Amino acid sequence: MWCSSNSITEEYICLYLFQCTLTRVVAKWYVDQPREIHSILVILSRKFISNFQLPLRYDTGTES
């Protein structure tokens, strides 16, 4: 999201920035991924989101 909001479209820059932000559990997750996906942003981002996205909860019966 940060890359697209700053008009950065070069995949290699987005991958580099992503890799620089990884710490602890997420860094271990990245290292454990097959090496061939480390350079494919679309696959890497989908796997990341499916693994680390928080579940969305909606309370019923509440007013906005």
pLDDT of residue 1: 75
* Gap between the Cα atoms of 20 and 59, Å rounded: 36
Domain extents in the chain = 2-51
pLDDT of residue 33: 92
Tokens of 54: 């928080």
pLDDT of residue 2: 79
pLDDT of residue 27: 93
Report CA torsion sign: 11, 42, 51, 31. negative
Tokens 């990884």 -> residue: 22
DSSP state of 40: -
Tokens 């909606």 -> residue: 58
pLDDT of residue 63: 58
pLDDT of residue 59: 66
Q: Write the pLDDT tens digit of every residue in 7-58.
A: 888 989 988 988 888 899 999 999 999 988 888 988 998 999 888 887 766 6
